[in-house]
Structure 1
Amino acid sequence: MSVSPGRGARPTKGERTSRILPIMMSFSAIRAAFPALDRDLVFLENAGGSQLPRVVINAMTDYMTNSYVQLGAPYEVSRRATAVVNDAHAWATTLIGGTGAGQTAIGPSTTQLVTMLADCYRRVWQPGDEVIICETAHEANAGPWAKLEREGINVRTWRVDPTTAQCDLEELRRMLSSGTRLVAFPHVSNLLGEVVDVAAITKLAHQYGARVMVDGVAYAPHLAVQAREWDVDWYVFSNYKVFGPHAAMLYGRHDAWAELEGPNHFFIPRDQVYKFELGGANHESCAGILALADYFRELTSAPEAPADEFLVTQAFDTIRTIEQSLTSQLVNGLKGIPGIRIIGPQGAEGRVGTVSFLHESVPPPAICQATDTAGVAIRYGHMYAYRLCQALGISLETGVVRASLVHYNSHEDIDRLLDVVEAAVRT
């Protein structure tokens, strides 16, 4: 049964309540867990960076107050600090769903980690080797690979279809060859919001002996990552978009790490992930990353649950349940506003709650000026998906308007955004 895309398609108050009932942690408690939400601001710019739960803030504060020392020294405070950093790395691999299959490096950003990885490959690939970049990529997972062309690497682009805004799997099949070393693509485009079939792309790339580098930044806040199940070689995302500190994590399969040598000091063994962490991981960020498990325990009302993949799955099942109706409300509400065109999937299925749109006559800056005045935080621009905007004929100066929700947003937040956008384009 299809649902009309008009404004009347929003769920009623009763429908909203029934959708929230299965959630083990009440929605009001979820909101209360994030101190930054206690203000008159509708925050729908989560794809740029999410807010922090109190347990994460407290963990980082506690670390800097009580454990702010160098690692590896023979005294108790240093042993506690060392344990936090080590445990954070183990938890990072759990969070990515890669326990037993690989390990995870922690760095300052996705851009830095991918740039580091590309430089490592630069030293082992030969002129004529090939890398394929998906055109829907954020520049973090495109630019570092494209720069290898200077070293004689053959850089090819997996083109997006401008009519569907999708990259066809059969087109990738035609591009792959025995010379392909790696395929770089996003799990979810941070502009389009569509979830792609990582397992299918990975399986196809592996048939030609190529590795995959998956950018999960726009996926990881919404759904559980299952790196081991998908058999990905590399998977990266930014913690500050997944309710954590400004850091990022790069998972790699054991065999993928083994073929590279990291850039850290020559005397550090190459089989340690620390070899790929110049200067080491930020210690207080590790405390915050580790505390995300505590938030997941709160979210699932399981205070004694171990920090394992089952906890991660349960937490993201809860997150997905909340977000599905919000995403439907946002997509349908925007489609019901005359002159609005959504860029990417036109329905709520097969996507996350990151929704980009344009109006036929009102430019993105004017829409965002109206939302800012009304206390609604969204943004406009090319979203660092520069190549994608070029391919779709979207202005690189003004880009698109993007609204992005997560599980702590409410139906009232979406209502307020839609009301402001509708008024802005009507006048």
Structure 2
Amino acid sequence: MSLDIEFARKQFPALIHDDYAGKGFFENAGGSYMPKQVIDRLARYHSQRRVQPYWPFRSSTLAGNEMDESRIRMAALLNIPADTLHFGPSTSQNTFVLSTAFRDFETKRKVIIVTNQDHEANTGVWRRLGQYGYEIKEWKVQKDTGQLVLKDLEKLLNENVCLLTFPHCSNIIGEINPVKKICSLAKKFGVITCVDGVSFVPHSFPDISSLGADIYLFSSYKTYGPHLGIMYVDADLNSCLPSQGHFFNSGDPIKTLTPAGPDHAQIASVSGIVDYVEIIDRHHFQEGVNDSLAHAAQRVGKLQRNMEMVLLAPLMEFLNSRKDIRVLGDPDIELILKVPTISIDVGTRGEEIVNKLSRKGLMAGSGDFYSVRLLESLGIDLPAGVLRLSCVHYNKLDEIDSMVRALDEIL
């Protein structure tokens, strides 16, 4: 079954707004549009529930109920217990809080493995723990492709390693890392794993329990929701980490890694993301309406990924045919192993090309995208960085065609 693209697009008010009509949005990796299900919940909270939650009067009780609903339903979508889900202002803030907890974590294991493929949010904070008694080791990418190779990781893992941090996929090369294999390998040595899913989750909500990660992070504003960071932390690990919240909240697992409460309205609106997944699932799979949210997420994820591969194929075919540019990553990668995030080395022309594309109604970005270490490893000129094109399931083939024609003219 293929995605009913017109039905999906009708859920996103931005796609039918005058500012978007006839244009193509290719900066989804920086932040996706929100469906009306999220917008409606956000508007309702601001217009009807704008009070401190959890008091007995009606508007306050409803406010708290809607916040709890978001935690419960998003946890169900990800197949994790509700008390292991944490909301923060952003993923960068969540990793900062986590790193502070690990700084004071009592352990004899004093090695942390980081990568140079990560967005800076999931590497810089961990590297700074080198100032607090940890030894930092780097799992380096291949300099020609930017890929992480398991054999290189195997050389770094041992009983002295406390933590391994890595991305589910890169926000530059878009290759999907074998998270389950990596976590399984780490577990053989008793190593805690922290996975940055920010660049993967927009393309399919994962079954986190099946991945085996101890920590999994992503950003809801890149997954069709409000600007929040969403974080899973294994319950046993959370109980061992020093609380980063108020001392009197140290017994509440959903408050130990939240030193300050995120925006209540945005938390309440997260349930709208789940509404959207349910609506897409019911539209395509009538027999699954009473199934679990986790199963719905997997079905919808397949629709998303299949649509994305349809979009990715002609764009990659065109770019790979050009001998005057360099597409970062493995040129022979199977599309099923890649999300539709493409970075192109165009020297110092990135900003110029983005401006020319914009005049043609094609919205894209250029720069380092907070992945300076990866770009340095790949020999990219900085601060110019790369031209990045990123799609999600609501992009259309005619937008891809327009992008191909524009790049053929501009490059």
Query: Which stretch shifts more, 269-278 or 201-210?
Result: 269-278
Note the C-alpha offset of 1:231. Answer: 1.2
Deviation of residue 337 (structure 1)? 3.2
Corresponding residue for residue 322 of structure 2: 337
Superposition map of 1:293-304 within 5 A: 293-301=274-282
Give, in whole Å, the separation in 1 of the partners of 2:380 and 2:79: 36
- The answer (yes or no) to whether the contact 1:381–1:400 under 8 Å persists in 2 is yes
Return the alpha-carbon distance in structure 1 between the equivalents of residues 384 and 97 of structure 2: 31
Does residue 414 (structure 1) correspond to residue 400 (structure 2)? The answer is yes
Residue 199 of structure 1: aligned partner: 180
2:60 corresponding residue in structure 1: 78
> What is the match of residue 293 of structure 2?
308
Q: Could you tell me which residue of structure 2 aligns to residue 368 of structure 1?
A: 354
Contact 1:136 1:387 (8 Å CA) reproduced = yes
Structure 1 residue 362: Cα displacement: 6.8
Question: Given residue 355 of structure 1, which amino acid in structure 2 is its aligned partner?
Answer: I
2:69–2:271 CA contact under 8 A, matched in 1 = yes
Tell me how far apart the structure 2 counterparts of residues 298 and 23 of structure 1 sit (CA, whole Å).
15
Q: CA deviation at 1:262?
A: 2.4
- Opposite residue 149 of structure 1, the aligned amino acid is G
Alpha-carbon distance between aligned partners in 2 of 1:321 and 1:306, rounded to the nearest angstrom: 22
Could you say which residue in structure 2 is the equivalent of 1:36? 14
TM-score, length basis structure 2: 0.93
- Is the contact between residue 305 and residue 311 of structure 1 (CA under 8 Å) also seen in structure 2? no
The alpha-carbon deviation at position 311 of structure 1 amounts to 1.7
Contact in 2 for aligned 1:130/1:153 (Cα 8 Å): yes
Letter aligned with residue 327 of structure 2: I
- CA–CA distance in 2 between the matches of 1:296 and 1:287? 16
Find the aligned partners of 1:274 and 1:307 in 2 and give their Cα distance.
27
Distance 2:156 2:87 in 1: 32
Q: Is the 8 A contact 2:145 2:378 kept in 1?
A: no
1:349 paired to 2:336: yes
Distance in 1 of aligned mates of 2:162 and 2:294: 30
Residue in 2 aligned with 1:3? none
Is residue 389 of structure 1 aligned with residue 367 of structure 2? no
Corresponding letter in the other structure for 1:424: I
Unaligned runs of 5+ in 2: none
Match of 2:152 among 171, 183, 197: 171
Percent identity of equivalent pairs: 29
- For 1:193 and 1:229, the matched residues in 2 are separated by 22
State how far apart, in whole Å, the 2-side matches of 1:394 and 1:383 are. Answer: 13
**Does structure 1 retain, via aligned residues, the 8 Å contact 2:31–2:222?**
yes
Distance of 1:279 and 1:386 partners within structure 2: 29
Contact 1:104 1:249 in 2 (8 A): yes
C-alpha contact 1:165 1:392 (8 A) present in aligned 2 = yes
Q: What is the match of residue 276 of structure 1?
A: 257
What is the rounded CA distance, in whole Å, between the counterparts of 1:371 and 1:119 in structure 2? Answer: 42
The reply to whether residue 287 of structure 1 matches residue 272 of structure 2 is no
In the aligned structure 2, how far is the partner of 1:184 from the partner of 1:232? Answer: 10
Aligned to 1:119: 100
- Compute the displacement of 1:292 (Å): 1.2
Contact 2:239–2:253 under 8 Å retained in 1:
no
In structure 1, how many angstroms separate the alpha carbons of the residues matched to 2:315 and 2:230?
Answer: 30
Q: What runs of 5+ residues in structure 1 fail to find an aligned partner?
A: 1-21
2: distance between equivalents of 1:273 and 1:95? Answer: 18
Deviation at 1:78, TM superposition (A): 1.4
SS in 1 for 2:86: strand
User: Secondary structure at the residue paired with 1:221?
Assistant: helix
- List per-residue Cα deviations over 1:70-119 (Å, max 9, x = no partner): 1221222211111111121122322333248x611001111000110010
Amino acid at match of 1:398: A
Distance verdict in 2 for CA 1:362–1:249, change over 3 Å? closer
Deviation at 1:63, TM superposition (A): 1.1
Q: Secondary structure at the match of 2:409?
A: helix
Given that 1:127 and 1:152 are in contact with CA atoms closer than 8 Å, whether structure 2 keeps it comes out as no
Q: Secondary structure at the match of 1:273?
A: coil
> How many Å separate the matches in 2 of 1:206 and 1:336?
42
CA distance in structure 2 between the partners assigned to 1:313 and 1:50 by the alignment: 20
Which amino acid counterpart does residue 6 of structure 2 have in structure 1? S
Query: What is the CA-CA distance between 1:128 and the residue it aligns to?
Result: 7.1
* Aligned counterpart, 1:4: none
Distance 1:127 1:149, change over 3 A: farther
Q: What is the DSSP-based 3-state SS (H/G/I as helix, E as strand, rest coil) of the residue aligned with 1:182?
A: strand
**Pick from 401, 408, 424: which aligns with 2:387?**
401
How many residue pairs get aligned? The number is 401
**TM-score, scaled relative to structure 1:** 0.90
Indicate the larger mover: 91-100 or 77-86: 91-100
CA-based RMSD of the aligned residues comes to 1.8
Q: Which residue of 2 aligns with 1:46?
A: 28
User: Partner residue of 2:307?
Assistant: 322
Give per-residue Cα distances to partners, 1:171-193, cap 9 Å, x unaligned: 11111121100000000000010
Matched, 1:180 2:161: yes
